[in-house]
Amino acid sequence: MKPIGSVHDIPFGEGRTFSVDGRMIAVFRLRDGSIRALDAVCPHKGGPLADGQIDLKQVVCPLHLNAWDLATGCSLSGQKPVASYPVRIDDDLLFLEL
Ligand code: FES
């Protein structure tokens, strides 16, 4: 796992995009404090998933409102899946494994 930034860079209930080894990764900080990471580019038409609305289960793309499971990356609305990545917090740093 490699450090990608501080957990404090992401407000509770929001996502932010990080560039990791040339890939754009959306990292989400859920309202319960847990962290999820998915590919940042929506597989529908390229929308920014980190800007989507989230709850504890799903992210909704801001462009056309398709939804993906935050834990698995599976689509909840009939689209292609997105990759999900292991991510953890250690001493306020985010560590991600591609
Ligand atoms: S670009 Fe994300 S739902 Fe269309």
Distances (CA, A) of 63 to 1, 10, 81, 91: 31, 21, 16, 35
| pLDDT, averaged in runs of 10, over the chain (98 residues) | 95 97 97 97 98 98 98 98 97 95
Task: Identify the pLDDT of residue 76.
Answer: 98
Task: Identify the pLDDT of residue 26.
Answer: 98
Q: How many domains does the chain have?
A: 1
Task: Identify the pLDDT of residue 22.
Answer: 95
Cβ–Cβ under 8 Å, residues 37 and 96:
yes
Token code pair at residue 24: 């754009």
Give the distance (Å) from ligand 1 centre to CA of residue 90: 32
CB of 47 shorter than 6 A to ligand 1: yes
Structural domain containing residue 51 = 2-96
Q: Whose CA is nearest to atom 3 of ligand 1?
A: 64
The CATH number assigned to the domain holding 7 equals 2.102.10.10
CB of 43 shorter than 6 A to ligand 1: no
